[in-house]
Structure 1
Amino acid sequence: MTAQSHDVDVIVAGAGVAGLSAAVALSQAGARVMLLERRPYIGGRAYSYQHPALEETIDSQHVVVGCCTNLIELAQQAGMADSFRWYDELIFMEPNGQRSLLKPGPLPAPMHQTLSFLRAPMLSLEDKASVAAGLLRFLRGFPQDDAESFASWLKRTGQTERSIRHFWEPVVIGALNDNFESCSVKYAGKVFHESFLRSPQAGLLGIPAAPLTEFFSPIAALAERSGVDVRLKSGVDAIAQTADGRWQVRSNGNEYVADSLVLATDVRQSHNLLATLPASEAEKQQRQEAYERFVPSPITTIHLWYDRDVTGVDHAVLLDTRIQWVFTKSRIRRWPEERGSYQELVISASWPELEMGREAILASALREFETFFPAARQAKLLKSGVLKEARATFSVTPGLDRFRPQQKTQWSGLYLAGDWTATEWPSTMEGAVRSGRLAAGEVVGERRRFMAPELPATGLMKLF
């Protein structure tokens, strides 16, 4: 084992979105930072890769909304603000071809989508009244207690069957990647308060216009320009606190020492590393109990390449089907027409698909896709692929908040980052950035120092 004598203030373990945001914040604040990542690429779970058989770069689609202020600010710092394609409308499609368009109109928030909502054929007048009554409950905010499930809330507030299928379900499952029983009202309510009520800008939909590893590369470049020593293929094997209170990290046979250590690894690796540190039996049992409360939730994506455009839309929400969302990546990425069309179909909370083979998933997805987009039957399918991500996110189950750890730990100089830590956000890229910035704030002794301001309410929402 080789001891390294690098003069480092902070080691950040993990170059996912959380680790990158922590490293950038600390380095820009004047700290000497080393960033260790076990993979040969940055981005963590938000990654893309070259599929060897397809000879195409694929990933699982991630989106941003306007209220993701920390991720957007980080992108601006990295000079990549133009890497998002921004949309102010959502298209809901039914199998019969009927479309509903939700978009801001001339009325002030929270009524800015009212006119398009009233015209939406996906809901009857009774359904719309049910949805409106439900949204009013989130007008002043959302519950700060996460004990109640969204399934319980839907039943308690008397939501109609069609309003659940055509409004609440596609939004909640798409945003939180789970079913109603496994989502707390706190985080479902946050989605509706922030994205549908607070302001038109807060609800803007941003879609990365490049594969995710390429998309996040400017942030890695920003880290390096800021002085971060980025080391790929350098996984953290063990951590220990030295006699003088510093932190020793073992990585690939080398040892590094720093005053502070930020573990920006996933919940499983973080738990395993923390389990090696001195603690009482009660503390170890408490950490084990907390770890077991984190339930991973899968996403399955189906990738289709056609010889022509078959959708005519950049993205759409599909109703009454297994596929929740369609992204026409060739349109989002502004491909020339002669290059053909690339579709990504997203199945959130895809536990059944984990047990299915590729051909069964593909056959089912093609049947459903062609129901909504009949033009696909006349086009030539050039390539297809299926990507299963078993641990894409974690479930924001009722009662989970008390098990999500703070960024500052019981060990002096040791901090945690990751979307699974206490951020007041669900498992999202914004939650990951916030966790990294909060951890960086704890390192310098000012928890919220690096946090971007929230978007202000507009219109009548200023009164609440």
Structure 2
Amino acid sequence: MSPLPHSDVIVIGAGLAGLSAAAALSKTGAQVKLFERRPYIGGRAYSYDHPALAETIDSQHVVLGCCTNLLDLAQQTGMSETIRWYDELIFLEPNGNRTPLKPGSLPAPMHQMASFLGAPMLRLADKATIATGLMQFLRGFPHDDSESFASWLKRTRQTDRAIRHFWEPVVIGALNDTFERCSLKYAGKVFHESFLRSPEAGRLGVPAAPLSDFFAPIASLAVRSGVDLRLKAGLESLQQMADGRWSLQVAGETHTGNAVVLACDFKQTRALLKSLPAAEEEHVRLDAAFDAFVPAPITTVHLWFDRDVTGMDHAVLLDTRIQWVFTKSRIRRWPESRGSYCELVISASWPELEMGREEILSSALAEFEMFFPAVRQAKLLKSGVLKEARATFSVTPGLDRYRLQQTTQWPGLFLAGDWTATEWPSTMEGAVRSGRLAAGAVVGDRMRFMAAELPATGLMKFL
């Protein structure tokens, strides 16, 4: 079969990384093809129509104010109109205690001091150790990722209650793993950016649409800019030709391009790179790098009731397997007559991978009722359990030296994906950054498409 028309750049994978790379490159006037093996965009941040439930479900993702590249893309595409913004985080205890953390009138980094000092979920000794710990992140976070967050908690003598009611819900919710498997660098980054840098940096944004619908404007922008987007088009093989161009077999067709961006997960990328010619020591190096990545699971429980049972849009749940509850019917502004839709998020859910649906559901409902007794009077109309075994990767201590750069040893071949070297953990922001960094590498200017970081405010400007 003769090659189809030649492209300047071919991007493999229409997750956030691939969409971001394609959208950036199309602005330069490059002819870009974007292939996705699935029938939908978004990669791991996707939604789908559940046939048995007749509902569209996804695993809830959130964005923070410090996610400047994702928000820049949202502004360009119109996605920002479907983000609900919240300045308050509510922590709930099973005994009914409610702790709202929100900015006050004091300048950063003291903007949450009033609500923090009045937090019933913490005792005075807990607050003292937390304050001492946060002070270590005022000027930033460690550049070295070799120490675990567990080691830091022990070293700074954090109290048990401080760990359970502050450090644990934030770190496990943000990084999706246990303290032993999270490096201090990325845990510190979470607290520096979301609690200290500025009130705006810590704002919580929740997409008010199913994820595939939420990200659809990125694909629309790319297509309007000339990107040839094709779904159900999986990459079967790639090879570099004698003239330096790349030849790819995609869905039974041959395509050629000057450059290729592999915006796949680390498992698929590993298989593709191993198919390319390289010195034995290079393959050994790549194997060591990919072996260092550990996928981490998230389990979500989806509940539809005949009425509102929470009275709030979202909350952090303490002393339970459930880290978050999102009342998606409220976030999406459903009319009351439509009932209530709640999603319960269980991060780092290795135990749940071994459990059956009914066991997960009954356990989650029992815990949910402890926080929201109105569940007992409501009628559960339907329910679903979604397990994502490879939802994120773990930012284990020492992982940075294995995270691959966007450029490779093969001229014209580039990598994107939240797992590449972005200086961010496994997040939507990390994925967008990787795509933009890869696009910059393609045009020879790595930072060309990157948005500016959110500036510090208040006293943080002087640190």
Report TM bin, short chain: over 0.9
Structure-1 residue corresponding to 2:75: 76
Q: Which amino acid is the alignment partner of residue 36 of structure 1?
A: F
CA distance in structure 1 between the aligned counterparts of 2:363 and 2:331, rounded to whole angstroms: 25
The reply on whether 1:295 has 2:309 as its aligned counterpart is: no
CA distance in structure 1 between the aligned counterparts of 2:75 and 2:405, rounded to whole angstroms: 27
CA distance in structure 2 between the aligned counterparts of 1:236 and 1:181, rounded to whole angstroms: 37
Structure-2 residue corresponding to 1:106: 105
Structure-1 residue corresponding to 2:151: 152
> Which is further off, 73-82 or 352-361?
73-82
Structure-2 residue corresponding to 1:137: 136
| Contact map agreement 2:246 2:256 (CA 8 A) in 1 | yes
- CA offsets, 1:333-386, max 9 Å, x none? 000000000000000000000000000000000000000000010000000000
Q: How far 1:5 moved relative to its partner?
A: 2.8
Partner SS, residue 363 of structure 1: helix
CA distance in structure 2 between the aligned counterparts of 1:29 and 1:119, rounded to whole angstroms: 52
Q: Which amino acid is the alignment partner of residue 453 of structure 1?
A: A
Q: Which structure 2 residues correspond to residues 202-213 of structure 1 after superposition, within 5 A?
A: 202-213=201-212
CA distance in structure 1 between the aligned counterparts of 2:187 and 2:427, rounded to whole angstroms: 13
Structure-2 residue corresponding to 1:57: 56
Q: Which amino acid is the alignment partner of residue 200 of structure 1?
A: P
Structure-2 residue corresponding to 1:315: 314
Structure-2 residue corresponding to 1:18: 17
| Contact map agreement 2:149 2:182 (CA 8 A) in 1 | yes
CA distance in structure 2 between the aligned counterparts of 1:280 and 1:80, rounded to whole angstroms: 44
Structure-2 residue corresponding to 1:252: 251
- CA offsets, 1:385-440, max 9 Å, x none? 00000000000000000000000111110000000000000000000000000000
Q: Which amino acid is the alignment partner of residue 260 of structure 2?
A: L
CA distance in structure 2 between the aligned counterparts of 1:247 and 1:149, rounded to whole angstroms: 41
| Contact map agreement 2:296 2:392 (CA 8 A) in 1 | yes
Q: Which structure 2 residues correspond to residues 57-456 of structure 1 after superposition, within 5 A?
A: 57-456=56-455
Unaligned runs of 5+ in 1: none
Q: How far 1:4 moved relative to its partner?
A: 3.0
Report the count of equivalent residues: 463
| Contact map agreement 2:6 2:255 (CA 8 A) in 1 | no
Q: Which amino acid is the alignment partner of residue 40 of structure 1?
A: P
CA RMSD across the alignment: 0.5
CA distance in structure 2 between the aligned counterparts of 1:60 and 1:294, rounded to whole angstroms: 22
CA distance in structure 1 between the aligned counterparts of 2:19 and 2:332, rounded to whole angstroms: 25
Q: Which amino acid is the alignment partner of residue 113 of structure 1?
A: Q
| Contact map agreement 1:64 1:207 (CA 8 A) in 2 | yes
Q: Which amino acid is the alignment partner of residue 435 of structure 1?
A: S
- CA offsets, 1:185-235, max 9 Å, x none? 000000000000000000000000000001111111001001000011101
Q: Which amino acid is the alignment partner of residue 306 of structure 1?
A: F
Q: Which amino acid is the alignment partner of residue 24 of structure 1?
A: A
Q: How does the TM-score come out when normalised to structure 1?
A: 0.99
CA distance in structure 2 between the aligned counterparts of 1:409 and 1:287, rounded to whole angstroms: 11
CA distance in structure 2 between the aligned counterparts of 1:177 and 1:107, rounded to whole angstroms: 31
| Contact map agreement 2:61 2:207 (CA 8 A) in 1 | yes
CA distance in structure 1 between the aligned counterparts of 2:307 and 2:96, rounded to whole angstroms: 20
The reply on whether 1:41 has 2:40 as its aligned counterpart is: yes
Partner SS, residue 369 of structure 2: helix
CA distance in structure 1 between the aligned counterparts of 2:432 and 2:237, rounded to whole angstroms: 25
- CA offsets, 1:164-197, max 9 Å, x none? 0000000000000000000000000000000000
Q: Which amino acid is the alignment partner of residue 407 of structure 1?
A: Q
CA distance in structure 1 between the aligned counterparts of 2:285 and 2:410, rounded to whole angstroms: 16
CA distance in structure 2 between the aligned counterparts of 1:66 and 1:447, rounded to whole angstroms: 23
CA distance in structure 2 between the aligned counterparts of 1:311 and 1:121, rounded to whole angstroms: 20
Partner SS, residue 144 of structure 2: coil
| Contact map agreement 1:90 1:316 (CA 8 A) in 2 | yes
| Contact map agreement 1:3 1:256 (CA 8 A) in 2 | no
CA distance in structure 2 between the aligned counterparts of 1:236 and 1:336, rounded to whole angstroms: 43
CA distance in structure 2 between the aligned counterparts of 1:426 and 1:379, rounded to whole angstroms: 39
| Contact map agreement 2:315 2:326 (CA 8 A) in 1 | yes
CA distance in structure 1 between the aligned counterparts of 2:79 and 2:164, rounded to whole angstroms: 36
CA distance in structure 2 between the aligned counterparts of 1:6 and 1:303, rounded to whole angstroms: 45
CA distance in structure 2 between the aligned counterparts of 1:3 and 1:449, rounded to whole angstroms: 35
Partner SS, residue 285 of structure 1: helix
Q: How far 1:3 moved relative to its partner?
A: 3.1
Partner SS, residue 312 of structure 1: coil
CA distance in structure 1 between the aligned counterparts of 2:6 and 2:224, rounded to whole angstroms: 18
- CA offsets, 1:129-183, max 9 Å, x none? 0000000000000000000000000000110110000000000000000000000
| Contact map agreement 2:107 2:457 (CA 8 A) in 1 | yes
- Percent sequence identity is 75
Q: How does the TM-score come out when normalised to structure 2?
A: 1.00
| Contact map agreement 1:300 1:389 (CA 8 A) in 2 | yes
Partner SS, residue 364 of structure 2: helix
Q: Which amino acid is the alignment partner of residue 421 of structure 1?
A: T
CA distance in structure 2 between the aligned counterparts of 1:16 and 1:302, rounded to whole angstroms: 23
Structure-2 residue corresponding to 1:32: 31
CA distance in structure 1 between the aligned counterparts of 2:3 and 2:452, rounded to whole angstroms: 39
Q: How far 1:80 moved relative to its partner?
A: 1.8
| Contact map agreement 2:233 2:250 (CA 8 A) in 1 | yes
| Contact map agreement 1:303 1:384 (CA 8 A) in 2 | yes
Q: Which amino acid is the alignment partner of residue 23 of structure 2?
A: V
CA distance in structure 1 between the aligned counterparts of 2:255 and 2:156, rounded to whole angstroms: 55
